[in-house]
Amino acid sequence: MVQFLDPRAGVAAPVEPYGLAADWSAGPPTIGLLANGFPDSVAFLDQVGEAIRRRLPDVVLHAWNKGNASAPASDQLLDGIAAEVEAVVAAYGH
């Protein structure tokens, strides 16, 4: 007889709703997409950007690629991103 086990654990902590929101009073927010340089990180964030646009068609998206997965993002890159966007999605490929 084969017994199948469910690998999912029970919830150990209460679910807390996410309470932050973008300020739309000055127009749609700008969201940055930061790829870290791993293969497919740009392609993955392209898909994330498309999903964001489906939910928020007016949002402005800007994309960056750190270019080298083994090195941290430079202060200059991070400062430039922070000056242009209200939020950032950072991701890596595989």
Position 92 pLDDT exceeds 80: no
Position 93 pLDDT exceeds 70: no
If one compares 50 and 94, the residue with the highest pLDDT of the two is: 50
4 pLDDT band (50/70/90 cuts)? confident
For 28-62, the pLDDT digits (tens) are 999 999 999 888 899 999 999 999 999 999 999 99
Average pLDDT estimate for 51-80 = 94
Which pLDDT score, from 0 to 100, does residue 60 have?
Answer: 96
* Cα–Cα distance for residue pair 84/61, rounded to 1 Å: 10
Which pLDDT score, from 0 to 100, does residue 85 have?
Answer: 94
Which pLDDT score, from 0 to 100, does residue 91 have?
Answer: 86
